[in-house]
Amino acid sequence: IVTSCGALDLSFPPEFKFGSASASYQVEGAWNVSDKAISVWDKLVHDNPDAISDRSNGDVACDSYHLWQRDIEMAEELGLHFYRFSISWPRVLPSGYANYISKDGREYYDNLINGLLEKGIEPLVTIYHWDLPQNLQELGGWLNPMITDLFADYAKVLFSLYGDRVKTWLTLNEPMAMCDGTFNTGTMAPPLVVEDVGAYICNKNILIAHAKAWRIYDEEFKPLYNGEVSIANNFFWYEPLTPDDEDIAEAARQNMGGRYSHAIYTKEGGWPPVIEKMVAEASEKKGYNKSNLPEFTQDEIELIRGTFDFYAVNHYTTRLIRHAEPGEELDLNDVPDLNGKVLVNPDWPTTTSSWFSVYPEGLRRQLVWLKEQYGDIKFLITENGYSSGIGLEDTARINYYRDNLEQILLAIKEDGVNVVGYTAWTLMDNFEWSDGYQSRFGLYEVDFDSPTRTRTPRASAAYYKNIIKAHKLVEPNENF
């Protein structure tokens, strides 16, 4: 690759870290052991098996609740610097409240954290990756403002239990999926569509919940442990279909990305002004007497502003967008309250996931955009990976990792984006939400028919291991 200053230097910065990730509901299984309570995902898969394309569920999943030692072994085989996993709220706090901590739940994560540290692998903890205690859903879940304090209480329990050993925390995974992906499209748990208003109420509550947790850490735990806390955002990168569509592409980025970031990462805080205007106009058109975007008080703006130590981003794919034609029908694949049509580029290779086609250049552009929007801060890629079917010879996944890592190197070296680490999604095949076990993202293949859930490295595992060992982007065919 030739860049502005000659050939691209394929080495990663010395401090750059490589990891891999998973999430509690996707891997743990053991859905009803001990005093664990049920989550919204347990409820969804049991009440409504048709919501999952292969009618499977996460009751056993990878059985990581019992096989955590094997998981650590795989992390070690790969040479990971860190392993990102999430904690199940109803496993640690069965009542949802901080009044009672489960002994078994607490011990499970203690073992995992200690086991990783013994191998020199940093634990990176996601506090919430979508498995809300079902009883809190019955109070309204992410639509009830009281969730913000309950979440902060839960986060505080985790900081107290594990803060001496866990130095990097993510409060919430993908608020966009939690709000837009739930209340607009109804494809996630809880299966509850709340048209027009739900996603925006959830959006505000999430920002406040995150901010409260961040401030608790900052005030009470940072002085003791000096760790870092952030929130993991994701959104499709939007490219204009034609040069005339750049304004609508930018509005889409602000809608799906800025709506979850502007309040935290900008000096002025609050909603992106363009989104306030867009939602106000759309609400009026739909006959509402006020905007569906809830207002922030000045106190709330200040509570949220600046609650980050780095920017965490999950990136998978890119969409095209153009201005909608007059009277054109828009649907749930489009951006809410935006008069634009979202398209998939038919030239980009597809994957096993219906929403996912491959366009590595989008990652670099997204990183550059994030730096332009939110400043020269640290960026950690908390997820990136490829979905295939079963099979150990996963050349397409290898190419995906190669090409995305190349774009990250370009962002670092050509655009000066301070990317500090990379997380491959995912360590092993797991319960891929509404796709069940049909979409495989794993570096390790899991045999879900075997009672021992045998894990076998794919070709991509060997490739990723080589990259980590060399600390540079080796080529897939390079003898290493």
**Which listed range, 105-113, 173-181, 198-206, 212-220, lies at the site for ligand GBH (CB under 6 A)?**
173-181
- Which segments of 264-352 are extended strands (E)? 311-314, 318-323, 340-343
Q: Is 42 in the site for ligand GBH (CB under 6 A)?
A: no
Q: Least distance (Å) from ligand GBH to the CB of residue 379?
A: 17
Candidate ranges 159-167, 172-180, 263-271, 455-463; the one touching ligand GBH (CB under 6 A): 172-180
**To 10 degrees, the CA torsion angle through 51, 450, 33, 434?**
-20
DSSP 222: H
Q: Does 174 bind ligand GBH (CB under 6 A)?
A: yes
| Amino acid at residue number 211 | A
Helix (H, G, I), strand (E, B) or coil at 231: strand
Binder of ligand GBH out of 155, 432, 468, 473 (CB under 6 A): 432
Tokens representing 412 are 């670092």
Task: Answer yes or no: 281 catalytic.
Answer: no
> Among 28, 122, 174, 239, which one carries the catalytic annotation?
174
Give the distance from CA 14 to its chain's centroid. Answer: 25
Which of 169-177, 214-222, 393-401, 442-450 is the region at the interface with ligand GBH (rule: CB under 6 A)?
Answer: 169-177
Closest to ligand GBH by CB, 97 vs 355, is 355
Nearest CB to ligand GBH, comparing residues 177 and 461: 177
Could you say whether residue 171 binds ligand GBH (CB under 6 A)?
Answer: no
Residue 422 makes contact with ligand GBH by CB under 6 A: no
Closest-CB residue for ligand GBH? 177
Concatenating the DSSP letter of every residue in 14-75 gives TT-EEEEE--HHHH---TTSTTPPPBHHHHHHHH-GGGSTTS--SSSTT-HHHHHHHHHHHH
Q: Does residue 185 touch ligand GBH according to CB under 6 A?
A: yes
* CB of residue 318 to ligand GBH, shortest distance in Å: 13
Residue of 228, 239, 300, 383 marked active site? 383
Nearer to ligand GBH, 239 or 383 (CB): 383
3-state secondary structure of 356: coil
Burial 5-16 (b: 16+ CB within 10 A, else e): eeebebebeeeb
How long is the chain? 480
Q: How far is CA 12 from CA 20, 121, 414, in A?
A: 17, 19, 13
Q: Is the dihedral of CA 103, 142, 237, 389 positive or negative?
A: positive
- Nearest distance in Å: CB 88, ligand GBH: 13
229 forms bridges with which residues in the sheet? 169
Out of 137, 182, 234, 423, point to the residue binding ligand GBH (CB under 6 A): 234
Binds ligand GBH (CB under 6 A): choice among 316, 400, 401, 463 = 316
**Considering the complex, what minimum distance in angstroms separates the CB of residue 203 from ligand GBH?**
15
Closer of 12 and 31 to ligand GBH (Cβ)? 31
Q: Contact between 278 and ligand GBH (CB under 6 A)? A: no
459-470 helix and 64-78 helix, angle to the nearest 10 degrees: 50
Site for ligand GBH (CB under 6 A): how many residues? 17
The reply to whether 127 sits near ligand GBH by the rule CB under 6 A is no
Encoded amino acid at 417, one letter: V
Longest dimension (CA), the chain: 66
For residues 328-357, which are near ligand GBH according to CB under 6 A? 354-355
Is 173 a binding residue for ligand GBH by CB under 6 A? The answer is yes
Quick check: 187 binds ligand GBH (CB under 6 A)? yes
Three-class secondary structure of residue 182 per DSSP? helix
Q: State the Cα angle at 369 between 368 and 375, rounded to 5°.
A: 85
Residue 177 sits in the site that holds ligand GBH (CB under 6 A): yes
Q: Is the sign of the CA dihedral 389, 43, 37, 33 positive or negative?
A: negative
Least distance to ligand GBH from the beta carbon of 355, Å?
4
Examine the residue annotation and report whether 174 is marked as an active-site residue of this protein.
yes
**Residue 260 near ligand GBH by CB under 6 A:** no
Closest to ligand GBH by CB, 216 vs 344, is 344
Give min distance, CB of 36 to ligand GBH, in A: 20
By CB under 6 A, name the one of 271, 379, 401, 425 that touches ligand GBH. Answer: 425
Question: Residues with Cβ < 8 Å from 410, sequence gap 6 or more?
Answer: 1, 3, 8, 364
Residues near ligand GBH (CB under 6 A): 23, 26, 173-174, 177, 181, 185, 187, 234, 314, 316, 354-355, 383, 425, 432, 441
Which sequence positions are flagged as catalytic?
Answer: 174, 383
